[in-house]
């Protein structure tokens, strides 16, 4: 079979070159090529160009939007940074004012406590002095009564009703106090 094919090709090849197509194939190929070229040139190429132009415009628009968004973001960042610095400064001022107020409150509390302590101390001294006076008067009367009872027991008479006896007891106690204070 292979021999038959080679023999046929050799007979055919002498008359016709297989690399050169027939003239009717060249004409019909040229007509098809012109039709395809015309369709491509008039319909496909403008649509492709419009599609590429639209895509290019969209990309450029997105780039412009991205640039604008970046500028806005940078402006917002600068504004945020300024507000943050202002807030820190204000917080520092508030903290300093609070410290000063705290110092004033502590000083006022100390002054109030000192005044209250002084008042309480004075009231305590006054109360102690009043109690001392009460105790002294009570002691004098008891010592006087006791001394009169003892003197009455020694003498054998009652001296409690006598005003003179009371003045003697008072004078005696006064002498004792004067001697104790020296």
At residue 59 the predicted structure's pLDDT band, cuts being 50, 70 and 90, is very high
Rounded Cα–Cα distance for residues 154 and 158 (Å): 10
Q: What distance separates the 2 farthest-apart alpha carbons in the chain?
A: 194
> What's the angle, vertex CA 104, arms to CA 101 and CA 105, rounded to 5?
85
- pLDDT at residue 173 above 60? yes
- pLDDT at residue 16 above 60? yes
The first and second tokens of residue 16, run together, are 């016709």
Rounded Cα–Cα distance for residues 76 and 86 (Å): 15
The first and second tokens of residue 159, run together, are 């001296």
At 165 the pLDDT is 67
Question: Phi then psi for 159, rounded to 5 degrees?
Answer: -115, 5
At 156 the pLDDT is 61
Tens of pLDDT along 130-157?
A: 998 898 888 877 877 777 777 666 666 6
Contact 151, 168 (CB under 8 A): no
pTM of this prediction exceeds 0.75: no
- pLDDT at residue 9 above 60? no
């Amino acid at each position: 079979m292979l021999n038959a094919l080679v023999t046929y090709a050799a007979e055919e090849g002498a008359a016709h070159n297989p690399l050169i197509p027939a003239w009717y194939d060249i004409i019909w190929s040229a007509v098809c090529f012109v039709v395809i070229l015309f369709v491509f040139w008039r319909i496909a190429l403008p649509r492709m160009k419009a599609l590429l132009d639209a895509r290019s415009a969209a990309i450029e628009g997105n780039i412009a939007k991205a640039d604008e968004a970046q500028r806005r973001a940078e402006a917002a960042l600068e504004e945020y940074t300024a507000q943050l610095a202002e807030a820190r400064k204000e917080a520092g001022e508030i903290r300093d004012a609070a410290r000063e107020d705290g110092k004033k409150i502590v000083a006022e509390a100390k002054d109030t406590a000192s005044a209250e302590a002084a008042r309480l101390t004075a009231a305590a001294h006054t109360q102690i002095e009043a109690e001392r006076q009460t105790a002294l008067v009570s002691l004098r009367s008891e010592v006087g009564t006791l001394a009169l009872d003892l003197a009455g027991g020694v003498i054998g008479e009652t001296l409690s009703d006598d005003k003179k006896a009371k003045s003697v007891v008072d004078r005696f106690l006064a002498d004792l106090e004067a001697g104790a204070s020296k």
